[in-house]
Structure formats: structure tokens, C-alpha cells
């Protein structure tokens, strides 16, 4: 009876442990040091076992990045409910900076360690968390532009990067 449920619980439990171990490694040694064998070591499993839970190494990295974006999106949530575009932008920017201050490791994880994924966000189709977080910043700027309050040639993504740089 309950065995199927227990199995499912164990399965996702191990997935979680894999991701936790992977996150640890990335935070400590950077994305480049994220190795299948190193993760396996950390959770005391054989390397091959990870492939029962993830398609490949990239799938793990992607999941890690998505988790980070989800966190970022959560941080944006309150700001995004503001109606006025200008205030919304300011609040979002503030949330952005705040997030960077409060979770520096996650911040690094998302934006500095795996550029492949960061740029993938800008091209990605669909509604992954990265895409949504990106639009959280983009959207109010475009609203401002359309309402004529921003110069027509003004650029939209720069705020984020200026803050961040």
C-alpha cells in the first residue's frame, strides 16, 4: 500500500539531497567545480546513481539555477503588485539590490557562476523562473517608456546591470 508513496518520498528526498550537495559545491568552489563525481561523493552514492534522478549534469545545474531564480522572483513579488510603473520599477530595483545583499551566495549562484544559463534566460522560451524574473525588471521600464515618461531611446535593462556592476 503505502510503499509506493514512501518510495516516491524517498526518491524526491534524494533529489533534494543531490541538489543541496550541488548547491554547496557551487557556493564553495564555483560552478566550474560542479562535478558529478563530487556530488556523488558528498552524498555518498556512486556517480552512476545520479543518473537515476537527473538526466545529466546540466539538468542538475539548470535546476539549481531555476531554484535561485525562483527565490529572486519571490523577492520581487511584493514590488510587482504596485500599479504605478515608476514606483513599481523603483521597488523592484530595491528588491533586486536587497536580494543581492541578503542572499549573496544565491545571487552569485545565479548571475556570476554559470553565464551559460544566465544568457540562456534571455533566449529561453516558455515561462521558466529566470524568464519571469527578467520580465519583472523589464516590464515596468517598458510601461514607463510607453507612457512617454521615459526618453524614447532610453534603455531598459541597464538599471539591473548598473546596480549589479
Partner DNA sequence: ACCCATTGATGAACAACGTTCAGTGAATGC
Partner DNA sequence: GCATTCACTGAACGTTGTTCATCAATGGGT
Instruction: List the single partner that 3 binds among DNA, a copy of itself, none, CB under 5 to 8 Å by kind.
Output: DNA
Give me the 68-97 binding string for DNA, x by CB under 7 A, dash otherwise: ------------------------------
Which residues, 6 or more positions from 3, have their beta carbon under 8 angstroms from its beta carbon? none
Minimum CB separation of residue 116 from a copy of itself in Å reads: 5
What is the C-alpha separation between 159 and 94, in angstroms, rounded?
Answer: 11
The phi, psi pair for 46, rounded to 5°, reads: -80, 150
Q: Candidates 3-11, 85-93, 100-108, 136-144: pick the segment binding DNA (CB under 7 A).
A: 3-11
Between 57 and 108, whose beta carbon lies closer to DNA?
Answer: 57
Query: Which residues sit at the interface with a copy of itself, rule CB under 8 A?
Result: 86, 89-90, 93, 111-112, 115-116, 118-119, 122-123, 138, 141, 144, 149-151, 153-162, 165
Minimum CB separation of residue 78 from a copy of itself in Å reads: 18
Instruction: List the single partner that 28 binds among DNA, a copy of itself, none, CB under 5 to 8 Å by kind.
Output: none
Which residues, 6 or more positions from 31, have their beta carbon under 8 angstroms from its beta carbon? 61, 109, 113, 114
Contact between 38 and DNA per CB under 7 A: yes
Q: What is the largest CA-CA distance in the chain?
A: 65
End-to-end Cα, the chain, rounded Å: 55
What is the C-alpha separation between 101 and 108, in angstroms, rounded?
Answer: 11
Amino acid at each position: 500500500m503505502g510503499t509506493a508513496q514512501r518510495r516516491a518520498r524517498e526518491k524526491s528526498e534524494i533529489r533534494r539531497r543531490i541538489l543541496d550537495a550541488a548547491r554547496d559545491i557551487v557556493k564553495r568552489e564555483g560552478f566550474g567545480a560542479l562535478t558529478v563525481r563530487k556530488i556523488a561523493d558528498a552524498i555518498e552514492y556512486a556517480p552512476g546513481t545520479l543518473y537515476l534522478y537527473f538526466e545529466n549534469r546540466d539538468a542538475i545545474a539548470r535546476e539549481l539555477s531555476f531554484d535561485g531564480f525562483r527565490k529572486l522572483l519571490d523577492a520581487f513579488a511584493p514590488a510587482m503588485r504596485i500599479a504605478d510603473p515608476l514606483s513599481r520599477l523603483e521597488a523592484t530595483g530595491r528588491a533586486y539590490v536587497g536580494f543581492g545583499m541578503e542572499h549573496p551566495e544565491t545571487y552569485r549562484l545565479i548571475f556570476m557562476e554559470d553565464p551559460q544559463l544566465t544568457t540562456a534566460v534571455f533566449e529561453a522560451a516558455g515561462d521558466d523562473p529566470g524568464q519571469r524574473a527578467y520580465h519583472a525588471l523589464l516590464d515596468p521600464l517598458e510601461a514607463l517608456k510607453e507612457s512617454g515618461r521615459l526618453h524614447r531611446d532610453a534603455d531598459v535593462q541597464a538599471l539591473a546591470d548598473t546596480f549589479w556592476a
